[in-house]
Amino acid sequence: MKNKNKKINLTSVRRSANNHKFFDNFILWTVDEVAEALSLSKGTIYNKVSSGAIPYHKKGKKLYFLQEEILNWVMEGNL
């Protein structure tokens, strides 16, 4: 479920005082952070990315997840 319509430029990512990564006021999560937040293994997150079941963004070989997209995805009952 990669969002192909919305392009984000991850070069403008910055960190907050509590070490969260931000992009245009959206919090960016890593695979580790998504796995922890959803109480799933990293392998499960990678499987969901591979099948397109979870919203994500990719910059090179790094995966990023917008916190808001993940929370909306969960609220829609997709977990």
The radius of gyration of the chain's CA atoms, rounded to the nearest angstrom, is 12
Report CA 27 to chain centroid distance, whole Å: 9
Containing structural domain, residue 19: 10-75
Residue 4 lies in a domain: no
The pTM of this model reads: 0.72
Number of helices (H) and strands (E) in the chain: give both, helices first.
Answer: 3, 5
In the prediction, which pLDDT does 26 show? 82
Give phi and psi for 41, each to the nearest 5: -80, 160
In the prediction, which pLDDT does 4 show? 44
Mind listing the pLDDT tens digit for each residue in 1-43?
Answer: 545 445 555 545 555 545 566 666 788 899 999 999 999 999 9
Q: For the chain, what is the domain count?
A: 1
SS3 state at 55: coil
Whole-angstrom distance, CA of residue 16 vs CA of residue 46: 26
Residue 1 lies in a domain: no
Residue 5 lies in a domain: no
Domain of residue 24, CATH code = 1.10.10
| pLDDT bracket for residue 55 (50, 70, 90) | very high
Residue 38 lies in a domain: yes
